[in-house]
Amino acid sequence: MIQRIEKDVLGEVKILEDAYYGITTQRVLQDFKISGLKMNPKFLEAYIILKKACILANMKIGIIDPNLGNPIVQASDEILNGKLRDQFNIDAFQMGAGTSFNMNCNEVLANRANEILGSKKGDYKPIHPKDHVNMSQSTNDTFPTAMRIAILLKLKDLDTELKKLEKSFKKKSKQFDDIIKAGRTHLQDAVPIRLGQEFKAYGQTISKNRITILKAGDSCREIGIGGSATGTGLNTKIGYREEVLYQLNQMTGLNLKQAEDLREIMQSQSAVAEVSAALRNLALDLIRISNDLRLISSGPTSGLAEIRLPATVEGSSIMPGKINPSILEMLGMVSFQVVGNDLTISMAVQAGQLELNVMMPVMAFNILFSIEILTNAIHQTRIRCIEGIEADEKKCKHYADTTLGLATILNPIIGYKKAAEIVNRALKEEKTILAVIRETKILSEEDITRLLNPVKMTKPPPTQNKKKN
């Protein structure tokens, strides 16, 4: 195994000859063997996009020779096209603030750019990782900027899947719109409801969460690139910030904007917490919806069995023919993870001190992890579960006809107390509400037909549109 030797202020380190990373990365690989987890590929993509934008800006304002800048741009494009991805192996739990990841990018880009120019890896001539690739930059401003870009890029995919899930629920709501079933509150009998209404509500929940996430994502469009160290803009030149922003928007289409206060944007990572909170709220609703679907599909002979879920895999190693709601169980577990990630992110966001939050690597890892697993889980849930749900109309009608919640319609006629007596008698004698009403002759057959119509009970009176004064 051929190795080269690189030096820094701490001494010499041996590195594999064919490695594109350098001494800083090698030290980090040795010192931070923690989890085996890597930063999300989208984060790497965002960081390389940013590095490319910074080089293009520096060439535009004339502080780096294009003969040096263009090879760095070429190296950046190669990585964005999928090359050299194996050169980025730093653990997710790494140096504070993400300096190690920044230097990993600087070293790989420098070595590849020098290689393009005919130089050897590790010589850093004529291109140096810090002097050229990192020109006008600091980890202080590049890491949070890349994190926000990566979040916005990942949210695009999540948004697409949420739109599709919303559409799927609404399609089912139309399919099930005329199926009457028993409503339940406290898991006890309540007034009838249409199965389609339940699914329509699920779709509306997804829609509201999607909008909330988009609004939270907007807070990440404000970036502090050009702030350099501690938001001072030290070692940057006039026009640099504006040109980097222009290049980033050209490459990403994200409509990024400069932070109003470069110090605040480094001190506070509340924008990340805002996105994480929105993801957590989505996860909480997904848990609730998955639990509902598991409950009303329970059985098939000893549960509610109002709907049938698509069979995916055999559910038991010992009980023949058992099919479990496996996809929905997966969705629940993913959602639990997102809730846990949010706590980690919250703790990291509040841990900032003075001019910098050094806990950004764990923020970046967890927020991108949350977005990714939610995106994938929602996709699988939609295609492997929601779209294939079938209703058991007979079972639903049975529950609708026998629910004790039907007695609610009697309140305006005979009063709550007497209606409760009807319910108690029905329970004691194991009869339906309708049977007791007929026996007691509280209502005529005409009134029974008119009032105890489950379909009519599920349709509230229209709202009155009031004219504005």
Q: Which residues have a catalytic role annotated?
A: 316
Strand 222-223 with 188-194, pairing: unpaired
Nearest to 213 by CA among 138, 163, 147, 261: 163
Q: List C-alpha distances in Å: 52 to 24, 75, 79, 255, 302.
A: 21, 9, 11, 17, 61
Beta-carbon neighbour count of residue 159 at 10 Å?
16
Query: 115: which strand partners?
Result: none
Q: How many residues does the chain have?
A: 469
- Within 99-159, strands assigned E span none
442 burial type by CB count under 10 A (0-12 exposed, 13-18 middle, 19+ buried) = middle
Strand 307-308 with 390-391, pairing: antiparallel
Tell how far CA 271 is from the center of its chain.
14
**234 Cβ neighbours under 8 A, 6+ residues apart:** 228
Q: What phi, psi does 55 have (nearest 5°)?
A: -65, -45
Is 408 in a helix, a strand, or coil?
A: helix
186 burial type by CB count under 10 A (0-12 exposed, 13-18 middle, 19+ buried) = exposed
Both tokens of 300, joined, read: 């098939």
**Are 221 and 152 a contacting pair, CB within 8 Å?**
yes
E strand or H helix that includes residue 183:
strand 180-185
122 burial type by CB count under 10 A (0-12 exposed, 13-18 middle, 19+ buried) = buried
Q: List C-alpha distances in Å: 398 to 284, 285, 401.
A: 31, 29, 5
Distance between CA 438 and CA 422 in Å, rounded?
Answer: 11
Distance between CA 386 and CA 414 in Å, rounded?
Answer: 43
DSSP string, 384-404: HTGGG-EE-HHHHHHHHHH-G
